[in-house]
Amino acid sequence: MPKSVWLNGQMMELESATTSVADHAHLYGDGLFEGIRIYGRKVFKLDEHLRRLYHGIRYLGYEMAIGIDELRGIVLDVCRESEIESGYIRLNVTRGTGLGLDPKNINRTPNVMVMVSSLSLYPPEAYELGLGVVTTSFRVIPADALDPRVKCIGRYASNILAKQEANRAGAGEGLMLNHLGHVAECTGDNLFLVHGKLIRTPHPSSGILQGITRDSVIDLARGAGYQVEESVLTPFDIYTADEAFLTGTAAEVIPMVTLDSRKIGCGTPGEVTRTLMGLFRAHTATGVPF
């Protein structure tokens, strides 16, 4: 598939795209990003992703000259020029360019990138058989250090360490707790548990990124008649669940069948999980056409 990049107003091929070594995200992780899916020449949940991005821009105090409607048009134009049917958009905004931690001493014109490419997070068989997950030793960053609702590039260093730990254990994913020992999220996914007819997911105050796919699945589940509860959870709740599944833009909806080598329920993808996987796949047709 075609792979293209729009960077600060210029279109170029992905392989030839470059950015300054003094970009503040490159130097300090001082940047924001969104991962957005394309299904059938439609951008899925584009407006929701853009709203989250601009909330982060305001929170971090970036001097962004491009408005949300203009950036929306740019994203759709890049998809159109890429002639892509289905794929993955990576949208980056960084504070600006210059050496030094203090923003007042750098060029604070944000660097904006729209990349159209592809991403496959898990192998196809994982959606049929489910993922084995391990609890990692790395905790999510607490909200008094950096609000987890901000999809900041720098915050993902701990997620990468947790993913490496899961890899060393031969697991498909790593579960991250917060500083109180409550369940937060996996390294790149939100978590859902099924207890009887009740679906539970960690409350945003637990330190999770409040995912776009997470919110979509909550709406779909409630629309299908399920009761969904956001609550404080511990590993006990996972060990005793009937089913579990993960959600994310790249992951979509994927079953989780073990935690720390303990079976969840029967150790196979459950009925509720499969139902929501089907509902979500149908929902992906509702994106913004380009």
Catalytic residue IDs: 151
Task: Tokens for 180, please give them.
Answer: 């109180």
Q: What angle do CA 133, 273, 222 make, to 5 degrees?
A: 125
Q: At what angle do helices 68-82 and 46-60 cross, to 10 degrees?
A: 130
Q: What angle do CA 30, 36, 39 make, to 5 degrees?
A: 165
Q: How far apart are CA 230 and CA 75, in angstroms?
A: 32
DSSP of 46-71:
HHHHHHHHHHHHHHHT----S-HHHH
DSSP-derived pairing of the beta strands 131-135 and 252-259 = parallel
CA atoms within 13 A on the CB side of 237: 22
Residue 91 CA, chain-centre distance (Å), reads: 12
Task: Tokens for 152, please give them.
Answer: 């900041």
Assess contact for 114 and 5: CB atoms under 8 A: yes
Q: How far apart are CA 133 and CA 186, in angstroms?
A: 9
- Please provide residue 106's backbone torsions phi and psi, each rounded to the nearest 5 degrees: -120, 170
Assess contact for 192 and 199: CB atoms under 8 A: yes
